[in-house]
Amino acid sequence: VSRDNPGATALERTIIRWNFDSEPRGARVFWRVVSSIPSIVKNTNETYLGSTPYEETRAFNILGLSYENSRDVTVEVTVRKAGYMDQVKRFNVRQAIDQQEISSFFELVKKD
């Protein structure tokens, strides 16, 4: 798979449902790609999605992603809110593709 031709694999454009909520609401949601095969699928920096409650149907846009290598790729979702500890959850891309969704609820914990 080449990075010279973005969108070359069908999974790069796969549309899935993203759904995150938190207690308390209003936390900022970020995501990034964590790959165990960086020569094929690059790791990415964090990208801001929105604030909780967050729901959108959007594409992965992960260059080089294929169904065969999707098991080796993880989406890391971080939720941040001032006065609370950051929370991080990881989602396997193969499972997200099969379920056509990435969703979770974050119970935020106050900082001391």
- pLDDT at res. 103: 96
Q: How far is CA 20 from the centre of its chain?
A: 11
Q: Is pLDDT at 86 greater than 80 in this prediction?
A: yes
- pLDDT at res. 2: 46
Q: Is 63 exposed, middle or buried (0-12, 13-18, 19+ CB in 10 A)?
A: buried
Q: What pLDDT, in 10s, does the model give residues 17-68?
A: 999 999 999 999 999 999 999 999 999 999 999 999 999 998 888 888 888 9
CA separation for the pair 57, 78 (Å, rounded): 18
Contact 90, 57 (CB under 8 A): no
Contact 29, 87 (CB under 8 A): no
- pLDDT at res. 62: 87
Query: What tokens were used for 12?
Result: 């790069």
Enter the pTM of the model: 0.88
Contact 100, 16 (CB under 8 A): yes
Q: Is pLDDT at 1 greater than 80 in this prediction?
A: no
Query: What tokens were used for 87?
Result: 């929370």
Q: How far is CA 13 from the centre of its chain?
A: 14
Q: Please state, for a pLDDT cut of 90, what percent of the chain lies above it.
A: 77
